[in-house]
Structure 1
């Protein structure tokens, strides 16, 4: 069977193949081209039009595409129903609305065949969107019950015949009372990431607005407005027109922004900062912690405690975390002194929900030009509604860790702590947030 793919998608396939087979990129590109009936990548690209090329797929590849489409729809949180079209259906321009589809249409408030009378005069026509390999077409869907055949429910999408073949599986999904129709066997829905994102956020204009602003500022590298660990976040917020403040509330109209550099070590991202419950702890302040377990700064003599603490083992300062799920508490323990501070699980969950009801986790590549940092935005992961009761179990599993950043000035004795920060690696976000969605800001 022939269908179309975008050059962008095929390049990504080649990139994945390069990693899988440990081959050079040009070799991977040629392997992808050969897979789809071309002699070489150069031959494939010569046949491309408007960034797309016609390819030949085998039956096995079609099944893979079918499954990939279903998985992607599920990833974006889009519920759907499926229907297999027959040769007779294509010829007569009719499809039986099977029970699962009828139930789906009722639950979505789109159409109820039980309330519909038989006959042509009671046919219902509604607008719909037919997603094809080339573009999305504005069509109409017909829903009716014929006088014959006991009034068995029927459905048909106008103009569908030229985009299907017998035994293709169609999927139907509804957003804002508009029906979308997709041939799972021939159309790669990943070519329509913009559409998927907007469908997922159809009721969230703020997320669309922020996404569009990031697309705009990602067109050119951003020159850093300052130095230090927070430079990338401050620079992106400045580019978005946001004013720096110390509020614990989310940054952009209720959406939290977390920005990080892309590194080989996959730097952890801050979830939130939260001090212990001092009134229930052995040590009563950050100063007592740094005085007990800190170390002198070799440059100025300040007392510091900059370290990561996890459940796995005691760190160089003799500190580790202990999670008590039975009593809903997280402790910090010293290998000699025992338990020194405690966090209440309820307070930690409240901070998570307060900070990350909705978040854009922005990633960027860093380039140094004439000694100055420039940030090229790579993309962002969008999360909503964290599974707060997974927080303590993830700390116990070592997925979420804690960082101290405490400093006591030698001259004044003034103590400050930026955290303690509870952190997580970007690749582990899906363990805390349902269906995180990645949106690329890198355009070919």
Structure 2
């Protein structure tokens, strides 16, 4: 999708008129001929591609009327408006798909980011709400803390920022402040934002070296940018993900040596594989919540499709309404509760989770309408990043030789940099 390949919508319509006149053909035939000149079998195949291309350009696209031409059919203004609205709806769906694909691509790269949507009012007043996801992102990256910022223009913070397109890096300034009005609701603005976005676009913020970089994910195709050597977007993302992998390579080489042949289990039970691996890797056994191998967490299992526990974290009881064992049951000599809780549906105890964006809390509710327990979002994110900033997920095959369990290492998945703000 390079600028040189596809015509603008205005130019396309000019080409259609020229073909109709010179070849004496119908409008739909002209569209088909143009589509074939770009390697597509028909206009129906080419149309969604070029409409997506138009949408990814900075100027606001006009809505294509497809084959409709006043020389071919006579439609009322109302009918034309209906068709325009239908075409706009199709275009909006294409843009939504592009945004989701870009988010998936950023997640695959392990890039921490947040997204905001500028409004017409925002552009007119040069002001944007710093939403909870943006504020959380800023805090995770230690970039800015609105909660400790004073109100008023004298407390405004201005930092360098950069707006990225396929071809250019535009120098900008990020203004971060809390006004004296409206309880000091967090605000932000990025100078020259209108050069890369219009109202309604989705713009991603990536913090790198304590500076924000903005990418319009409604108009850029990140997977394609990664293939363009001189793309500023590619340069940023490559620099972001190019981290030192010395320790990971060291650990992988040790595991490869252990995978040459089976080894005996050094204890029995569920923890046998983990304990045995830690021993062979010279890791001291301990109950610490910190990662196992020089900052890398090891999660080893005997294979299969069982779920893995990411981390354990009790509720923050000092802010949780429930102070008694109201929802447990008698087990042995104690009153306990062992159950799975989901956001999707209530369990057999009538408990379910809700995430409250406004307070950034994971909340456990009972079907009777009672709030039971609370986990603040920052605690869960901190635990995830503490435990799984980098993880080796190791799968081993288990079998017995003369009554003794042995393990054969089969595979390892290496993950790092969880996108905690998401």
- TM-score w.r.t. the length of structure 1 is 0.42
